[in-house]
Structure formats: structure tokens, C-alpha cells
């Protein structure tokens, strides 16, 4: 057991785990916990099969095409939710009405929420693949794959538990506000991955993700004010 | 079988295009332009966020003008 390798894997994997957990929790709260967790489980199952089949060859899997496809889909989907959040909040306000009032209208319905499943599946399988590559790269380089796996596994368990604790807090937020927030988050992750997928490089690496979130939050704030003005001008 | 394939196609079309396909079109064009910039060795990171902000601004404006709220289940 190499403590240094385990710690390095823990720290390196933590960044990916935070992204993975954020998507699963956000989709679970905003859409459907059942579908989001099933999507996460499906993503982990595909990941486990990939790791088992490829083993050390995992390090040579090209990530750019995956990042492009997943990033572009998350971005388009996130922009859709951002738009809906802005339209609803500009019409109804941030907190008007009881929590959950708009669930009946905007919720995923009684059936299985395939959209939530796909969102979580994609987030978990892509981030999980990156974690597996970190484990293989750090572990194989130091001859301690087991230690790297333990470090990365600890990151998944600890940060996953933290994510589970936040869901009660998030469940108290009105759906339209969640829709705006989750839209901003998905758009930020999607933009980051899609640009990396076309071969672009971010000036500050993963620190660009919160910066993108701030950009989209700023845009949403401006658009909320503008949308109220447009509504007033059109008499809606 | 055909019905299942049709349902899958409808799901993915709805997933990708959403309520306003304009956003998907703008993102696709911006991604293609970003790829050209990156392949030419030029900074490409700035284009997609700018296009995304433009896309959401245009689709919000169209949403307000159409006078209807989006009530789909996506």
C-alpha cells in the first residue's frame, strides 16, 4: 500500500467525483431521484465492464470524442433549462407560491423519467472513465494500482455521501429556481467538455468550470431583467 | 420494433433539439468554428461560451414574444 499514490489518486479523482455527484444530485432533485440514481448505476455498470474488459489499455482510450458528444448534449440541454428558468421566474418571480406548486405542470410525470436517466448516465460514465484513467495512470506509473484504486474509491464514497446530504436542502428550493440553477450547471460542464472535445484548451483548466457558471449566472440575471421588460412591452 | 425505434428517435430528437431548436443550431455552428480555431492553433475556448450566451438570449426573447410558457416535460 502506497500512501502517496492513494493520496494523489484521491485528490486527482476528487475533482471528477465532485462533477459526477453534482450532476446526479442536481438531476435527482430537479427531475427524478429514481431515474437519476438508476442512470448513475447504469453509468457505473458500463464503466465497470469497460475497466474489466480493457484493464491497463484504458489509458489509451481517446477521451476527446466522448467529451465532445457528452459536452455538446449537456450544453444544449442545460441551455434549454436555463431558458425555461428565466421565462418562468420572469413571469412568476423567484419564490412566489408554495414549494412544488409548479411540479404538476413541469415535472417529469408519473412514468419513468428517461431524460433524468440519460443525463446521470452520461455524467457518471464520462467522469467515471476519467477516474479510471487516473487510477490506471497513477497506479501503473508507480506500480501500485491497488493503492490508486483505494484513493479514488475513497473520493467517490466521501464526496458521494456529501452529495446525498445536500439533497434535503435542495428539495426546499422551488422547481423553477432549480431549473435555472441546474441549467447553469449543466451548461457550464457541457461547455467545458465540448471545447476540450474539439481540441481547445482552457486557460485555467478545470477552474474554468466555476467561471463558466458565473458567466451563465450573470447572463441569466441580465436576461431576467430584460425578459420582464419584453413582457411589459408586449403586454404579456 | 419499428414503434420502439421511433420512440427512441423521438426521445433523442426532443433531447437534442428541445423546445427551441435555435439553441442546438447555434451550439453546432459554434462547435464547428471552435474546431477550426483549435485545428489552426488559435485560442478556441472563448467562442462556445459567447455563442451559448447569445443562444439563450435569443431563445428567451423568442419565448417571451411567442407569449407561451414552456410546459414540456424535458
B 8-47 residues with CB < 8 A to A: 11, 15-16, 18-20, 23-24, 27-28, 31, 34-35, 37-39, 43-45
Residue A16: what pLDDT? Answer: 78
Highest mean pLDDT, choosing among A28-37, A80-89, A159-168, A210-219? A210-219
Q: pLDDT averaged over chain B?
A: 84
Mean pLDDT within A190-197: 92
Q: Which of A76, A108, A195 sits opposite B44 (nearest CB)?
A: A195
What are the backbone angles phi and psi of residue A102, rounded to the nearest 5°? -95, 5
The C-alpha cell 428517461 sits at A114
What is the reported pTM?
A: 0.72
CB pairs < 8 Å spanning A and B? 124
Is the pLDDT confidence value at B47 over 90? yes
Residues with Cβ within 8 Å of B74's Cβ and at least 6 positions away in sequence, in order, are A77, A80, A115, B14, B15, B18, B19
Highest mean pLDDT, choosing among A28-37, A201-210, B42-51? B42-51
Per-residue pLDDT tens for A69-105? 888 988 998 898 899 899 989 888 877 654 444 443 4
Cell of A128: 467515471
Mean pLDDT within A218-230: 92
Spatial separation of the C-alpha atoms in residues A109 and A106, rounded to whole Å: 8
Residue A160: what pLDDT? Answer: 82
Cell of A164: 446525498
Where residue A235 falls among pLDDT bands split at 50, 70, 90? low
Mean pLDDT within A121-130: 83
Where residue B73 falls among pLDDT bands split at 50, 70, 90? very low
Residue A100: what pLDDT? Answer: 44
Is the pLDDT confidence value at A207 over 50? yes
Where residue A56 falls among pLDDT bands split at 50, 70, 90? low
Q: What is the ipTM of this complex?
A: 0.85
Q: Which of A76, A83, A106 sits opposite B63 (nearest CB)?
A: A83
Q: pLDDT averaged over chain A?
A: 81
The answer to whether the beta carbons of residues B56 and A86 sit under 8 Å apart is: yes
Residue A108: what pLDDT? Answer: 57
Residue A107: what pLDDT? Answer: 53
Is the pLDDT confidence value at A115 over 90? no
How far does A197 lie from chain B, in Å, by closest CA? 9
Per-residue pLDDT tens for B60-72? 999 988 875 444 4
Q: Which residue of A has its CA nearest to B70?
A: A84
Spatial separation of the C-alpha atoms in residues A31 and A119, rounded to whole Å: 10
Per-residue pLDDT tens for B19-37? 788 999 999 999 999 999 9
Higher-scoring residue by pLDDT: A107, A126: A126
A 84-143 residues with CB < 8 A to B: 84, 86-88, 90-91, 105-109, 114-115, 118
Where residue A110 falls among pLDDT bands split at 50, 70, 90? low
Per-residue pLDDT tens for A135-161? 776 666 666 777 888 888 888 888 888
How far does A27 lie from chain B, in Å, by closest CA? 11
Q: Which residue from A32, A210, A212 is spatially nearest to A119, judged by alpha carbons?
A: A32
Beta-carbon separation of B56 and A72 below 8 A: no
The answer to whether the beta carbons of residues B70 and B19 sit under 8 Å apart is: yes
Higher-scoring residue by pLDDT: A168, B52: B52
> How many residues in chain B?
74
For residue A45, the tally of other CB atoms under 10 A from its CB is 13
- Tell me how far the alpha carbon of residue A73 is from its chain's centroid: 12
Q: Which residue of B has its CA nearest to A102?
A: B71
Q: Which of A105, A109, A223 sits opposite B57 (nearest CB)?
A: A223
Spatial separation of the C-alpha atoms in residues A121 and A44, rounded to whole Å: 8
Is the pLDDT confidence value at A162 over 80? yes
Amino acid at each position: 500500500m502506497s500512501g502517496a499514490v492513494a493520496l494523489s489518486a484521491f485528490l486527482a479523482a476528487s475533482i471528477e467525483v465532485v462533477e459526477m455527484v453534482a450532476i446526479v444530485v442536481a438531476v435527482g432533485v430537479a427531475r427524478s431521484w429514481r431515474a437519476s440514481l438508476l442512470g448513475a448505476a447504469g453509468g457505473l455498470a458500463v464503466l465497470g465492464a469497460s475497466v474489466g474488459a480493457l484493464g491497463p489499455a484504458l489509458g489509451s482510450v481517446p477521451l476527446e470524442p466522448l467529451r465532445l458528444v457528452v459536452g455538446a448534449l449537456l450544453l444544449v440541454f442545460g441551455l434549454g433549462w436555463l431558458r425555461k428558468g428565466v421565462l418562468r421566474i420572469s413571469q412568476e418571480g423567484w419564490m412566489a407560491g408554495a414549494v412544488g406548486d409548479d411540479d404538476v405542470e413541469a415535472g417529469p410525470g408519473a412514468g419513468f423519467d428517461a431524460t433524468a436517466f440519460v443525463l446521470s448516465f452520461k455524467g457518471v460514465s464520462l467522469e467515471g472513465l476519467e477516474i479510471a484513467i487516473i487510477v490506471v495512470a497513477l497506479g501503473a506509473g508507480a506500480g501500485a494500482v491497488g493503492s490508486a484504486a483505494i484513493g479514488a474509491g475513497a473520493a467517490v464514497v466521501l464526496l458521494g455521501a456529501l452529495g446525498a446530504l445536500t439533497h434535503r436542502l435542495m428539495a426546499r428550493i422551488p422547481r423553477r429556481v432549480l431549473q435555472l440553477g441546474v441549467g447553469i450547471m449543466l451548461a457550464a460542464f457541457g461547455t467545458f467538455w465540448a471545447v476540450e472535445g474539439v481540441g481547445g484548451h482552457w486557460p485555467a483548466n478545470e477552474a474554468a468550470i466555476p467561471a463558466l457558471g458565473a458567466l451563465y449566472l450573470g447572463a441569466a440575471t441580465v436576461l431576467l431583467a430584460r425578459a420582464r421588460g419584453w413582457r411589459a412591452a408586449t403586454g404579456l | 420494433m419499428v414503434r420502439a425505434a421511433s420512440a427512441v428517435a423521438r426521445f433523442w430528437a426532443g433531447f437534442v433539439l428541445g423546445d427551441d431548436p435555435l439553441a442546438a443550431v447555434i451550439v453546432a455552428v459554434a462547435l464547428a468554428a471552435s474546431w477550426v480555431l483549435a485545428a489552426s492553433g488559435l485560442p478556441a475556448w472563448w467562442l462556445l461560451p459567447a455563442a451559448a450566451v447569445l443562444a439563450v438570449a435569443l431563445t428567451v426573447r423568442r419565448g417571451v414574444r411567442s407569449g407561451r410558457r414552456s410546459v414540456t416535460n424535458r
